[in-house]
Structure 1
Amino acid sequence: MRASRLVSILLLLQTRGRLTARELAERLEVSVRTIYRDVESLHAAGIPLYGDAGPSGGYRLLDGYRTRLTGLTADEAESLFLAGLPGPAAELGLGAVVTAAQLKLMAALPVELRDRAGRIQERFLLDAPSWYRDAEPVTHLPAVAAAVWEEHALRVRYRRWKAPQEVERRLEPYGLVVKAGRWYVVARCGGQVRTYRVSQILELHPLREERFARPPDFDLAAHWEAYRVEFEARLRRGEAVARLSPRGLERLADLMTPGVVTAARATAGPPDEEGWTRVTVPIESVEHATGEFLRLGTDVEVLEPPELRHALAATAGALTALYAGRDAPLGASRDVPLGAGGPASRPARQPGAAVRRITWKRRVTS
């Protein structure tokens, strides 16, 4: 561990030029006192490293000195594919390995390329998880990843949504996929390739003696795309016919999945005399569709099926009864994006609009 840290200090100084002891300590997650000891060890080893005192001081290498300790280990080379995904890399237990690999790669680049790579890293960030979701517990993810890499089977106890809810399965894992911050393992089970959510694995036992041969022509990306399309089509077997305002047609992409939006727009006819467009939308169930269409507010009118139309009317009536006679914040109408894919700000108040003070009372229940 200490040897790796000494190399990291050299590579950091080689790529950054000058760093203070505190900056080195923060990057390597150690104390400043530890950095002082490490610098003394590097001095003793003959490394041309010296420090400048004062506010603009710090440690730096002698001009022209470059270490040749830039060769990537096997683990570091493999982890480079996760370099843009710090969250998933950390969940796999590869956070420190990815950092070391990036550092070595930066140190090996010519100065001009190193500067360009550094600019990209400073200016772009890929944040994979979706909004408003807490991280899922993925206790067994490292063990699943090891089985994927080493091609050995797993015995798992798995929780699923249908009865029986808890089942035991023997899996031959082919690959891992992270989708919107959720981890899935693609594995062969009982002669079929299936997909399992890693957070739903309750118990796991590695079967290291039971090796399997991963099909050489298995394409994880192609399999996942086919699974995603098939899953959505299987989930949404029903259809709803609706009229959408121009704004509703535009907001559809923010409130529903890309597959649903594509299918709906493919059925769109020309706008009617009011500018509204008739579309056919794939739906999962009346209950689920009620929630989806309510988010469009008065920008949608469902025409079919009758049971969905009745469900929307009943919900709207219940809301009217609930809020009848109560003050509500101004602007809490269709102008406020509902269920958008990220933070949305309330539209600015129009000049001259009245302002009322709204008092919210806390309901106390026994």
Structure 2
Amino acid sequence: MTINRYFEIIYILLDRKIVTAKELAEHFEVSTRTIYRDVDVLSGAGIPIYASKGKGGGIALLEGYSFNASLLTSNEQDDILIGLQTLVVTEFPNSDHILKKVARLFKKETTNWIDVDFSPWGSGQKNKQLFALLRDAIVNQLVIHFSYYNSEGEKSERDVEPLQLLFKQNAWYLSGYCLYKNDFRVFKISRMLEVTVTNQTFNPKSSPIAIENTERQIAQSSVSITLRIASKGAYRVYDEFDDHMITKNKDGSYTVNAQFPIGPWLDSYLLSFGTLLEEIHPADLRARMVAQLDELKSNLIDS
């Protein structure tokens, strides 16, 4: 990334005083022309950097120049380090290398304050690599192909221009432009199978704010539901619902009033509460749930 290269050029020059364009070009695996262009950009940004020709010449900073960390407050320095640490735990290329250099420039110790694993508990290495694969496809603007199961259980093949990774309500989603639907879509990553990155590049299209757009679509097909959940289900209540949706009853149970999108997944979701679920409203949903339980009971007896 160009910004990282600019920063590292300054760091190298602070450390070594003078370096030839050829040495920098070999270090970054770019042409000397690119290095001289970087020097022009840095100079235009007010960094006192220059290139001299002849024996003993090279690229250097004006004598006496030093990175003035005091231009940033201590809190601003901490914010930069925290941002870099976040990139490190997502295994963003070269982020650990850059974090160490910035910490030395700020003369600060870094704290291992965050650790992130984007896969479910007990996942294999393949699932753990999926996040990095999607991240790289987004950064390099490459179309991805995958099989996808929607909330109706229907399978389809998708080619998507990936735009953004989203985290919402304990799950990861991918926002992108679906070439199959010719529209922007949000995909639940756990339902994406056999994900591959193609060689097809794309120019990102201007997109709506993915989460807000999806929430609007869901709200248009949602129904208001009231649940009473036993006191032993407190962990589910507070994990899955906002405080304003929850009322704690005198007997220790919880009443939850929430909007749910209509679809087959809703029955499965409500059944997942098992005996923790004590009441359901409206009545037609309750009747449907009873029918589902009767069918389940019949299946288990006949098996």
Q: Could you state the TM-score of these two structures normalised by the residue count of structure 2? A: 0.49
Larger Cα-atom Rg: 1
